[in-house]
Structure 1
Amino acid sequence: MIVVVGCGVAGLSCAVRLAEAGHAVEIWAASLPPRTTSNVAAAFWYPYQAQPRARVLGWARVSYQRFGPLAGRPETGVTTHRLYDLYHEPVERPWWADAVPEYSRLRPGERPAGFADGFVFPSLVIDTRVYLPYLVRRFGRAGGRIVERRLHGLAPALERTPLVFNCSGLGARTLASDPEVYPIRGQLVHVDDPGVRGILLDEHGADGLAYAVPRGDHCVLGGTADPRDDDPSPRPEDTAGIVERCARLDPRLARAPRRAELVGLRPGRTTVRVEAEVRGSACIVHDYGHGGAGVTLSWGCAEEAIALARPYLHPVPRRRPA
């Protein structure tokens, strides 16, 4: 038996891979979809402010490759969109560009007014309202079991099994006694989609982050990234700022009817932690601290976490042909 702590995108990705490989797996979590931080995420493929770069590049590339075959299947919530990465001054090609199959510089007429440079590449939008239930169904079909349980440490999981995957996100501050974990408050605004041409992103604006992510009949606007701010309530001034910044990406967004305002607390850390911790004959594999890149790194981190656990994984008997 393997216990995965956490039922957001990191925990579900690990659990699905393990269960589909034939292992007996339980997920233990205090919050299940749709009540996870992952459910709030705008969730488009982009390695947003994650470190260390060398490892992030590999994780992001693997995730891109895993999401690709899921795109266009309604039951997954994954769709392909071109991402317009916009800048206020000329820039060099980003460090992560090799993770995607195409990456080209925008010509002047292809950029919104006020932007001096930009790139375009094929990205993916992962609608977590659909995608997380899809992962839950995959996990269940593979024989996995989900237990709604609040933990105050990892000892109860280690009493159940010698192999635990800690995918507890912000909860790792307590469960893993990790003082490096801190909340990053992110606010989003959902509006009717006026026909945005793709994912529009301005990560480096002087007055804050701006992105517009099309999701069918509506558009997710962001955002904020306030470190060590754990206020879960939407703030009117943040909503106004988000809409104002996004209107520079597409002026029609200023008038788009608003549907919802949401806040999520991302699990921040100086570096993403994917690491095996040996405790006697037991092993805890940590997979947390992804900040705003949790979905983008999910499959890559899951695969590395499982590779780290391999010495503790019992061989799965091959099924005989019927």
Structure 2
Amino acid sequence: MGRVTVVGAGVVGLSAAHELARGGHQVSVVADREATDSVSGVAAAIWFPHDVDHSGDVLESAAVTYRRLAELARDPRTGVRLRAGTVMSRRDDVDTSWTRAVPHTEPVAAGVLPDGASGIRCTVPLVETGVYLRWLREATAARGVVFRTAGFGSVGDVLRHDDGDVLVVAAGLRSAALFGDDDVSFPIRGQVVRLANPGLTEWITDDDNPGGLTYVVPRRDDVVCGGTGDVGSWDERVDPEVEAAILRRVTELVPELAGQPVLSRATGLRPGRAGVRVEAVAGYDRPVYACYGHGGAGFTLSWGDAARIAAMVGPGTFRGTGPGEDQYEAEAS
């Protein structure tokens, strides 16, 4: 089982391809679009298990990914930074199980947040999506992974046209259609607007905002402001009214954003599912593995679930490396 085909070139697919190649397999990635053109390119990409259940496997994958991203943050070329911020809540029954995956958290002091709100401060990895996805693709290619552009209608269709020994389906929302898993998978529409950064460095999330999901994520040159979590919506158009509502909420939460120019705007469909699916799938003429349903936590679970897939597939025997491989190993160790 030395040749592995990964369907999907978003953050999860690329991470899986990287770890499979690292484990000694000859890997090819097949996708109908580049990572930067997928929902991975739209994401605010702050580490947090959003829109997924907080099961033991999910939190373990989140913790693995936290550690890996923290290592990568030592190299500015990766586009990963460790940034402090606040997870805000307006409910008494909020799920804080995610804190087990973070090295240190502390409650926000009284009087800092709006009346009736509480918060947890922590430092987490923040990913500059454009920079990181390009870096990840290059690091994956440096391990000998090859890339092909193609689209398929089902897993069976992929297998008929592919001569690999193993197939890994990590194509985000598209994975459900390939497996015929639409009854438990669904889109979660997200819309963001990116503003010029007036000098902000700390992020804040407010999932319980009465006006809707709200977050402010400052990056190097902009601030990603969101958002929406429209379950079941396939609409990828930018809605001006939704954008206006987002801007009202974020400027109320962070007044420094008032009057900042809009740099760009985007929508994306997060791959929602009743539960994250990382498992072997029976019924095919060769080993097939699923790795999808990550909701709004693709970046948060990427390295952990990639490691789980690599462990399921097992070791290979190919040890070819490309330019920059030794350097990557030194930086990641």
TM-score, normalized by the shorter chain, greater than 0.5: yes
Relative contact order higher in (CA < 8 Å, ≥ 6 apart):
2
Aligned-residue offset at 1:63? 0.4
Q: Does 1:161 align with 2:164?
A: yes
1:28 and 1:149 in contact (8 A); partners too: yes
2:285 aligned with 1:285, yes or no? no
What is aligned with 2:8?
6
1:186 and 1:266 in contact (8 A); partners too: yes
Look up the match of 1:102.
Answer: 104
Number of residue pairs the alignment of both structures matches: 316
SS in 2 for 1:274: strand
Q: 1:65 maps to what in 2?
A: 67
CA distance in 2, matches of 1:204, 1:182: 22
In the alignment, the residues of structure 2 paired with residue 222 and residue 76 of structure 1 have an alpha-carbon distance, to the nearest angstrom, of 24
> Which deviates more from structure 2 when the two are superposed, residues 177-186 or residues 80-89?
80-89
Distance 2:176 2:136 in 1: 25
**With structure 1 as the length reference, what TM-score do the two structures score?**
0.93
Q: Is the 8 A contact 1:91 1:117 kept in 2?
A: no
When normalised by structure 2's length, the TM-score is: 0.90
Once the two structures are superposed, the pairs formed by residues 219-258 of structure 1 within 5 Å of their partners are: 219-258=223-262
Match of 1:195 in 2: 199
1:137 maps to 138
Cα distance in 1 for residues equivalent to 2:201 and 2:34:
33
Aligned amino acid, residue 7 of structure 1: A
Structure 2 runs not aligned, ≥5 long: 322-333
Residue-by-residue CA offset, 1:144-183 (whole Å, 9 max, x unaligned): 1000111112235434123111001111122111122211
Checking the alignment, whether the CA contact within 8 Å between 2:11 and 2:302 is kept in structure 1 is yes
One-letter identity of the residue aligned with 1:22:
G
- Residue aligned with 1:62, SS: helix
Pairwise CA RMSD: 1.9
Corresponding position: 1:178 with 2:178: no
Secondary structure of 2:200 counterpart: coil
Counterpart amino acid of residue 85 in structure 1: V
Work out which of the residue numbers 18, 21, 36 in structure 2 matches 1:19.
Answer: 21
Q: Distance in 2 between matches of 1:57 and 1:89?
A: 22
Percent identical across equivalent pairs?
A: 34
Which AA in structure 2 matches 1:164? L
Compute the displacement of 1:249 (Å): 2.0
CA distance in 1, matches of 2:129, 2:255: 27
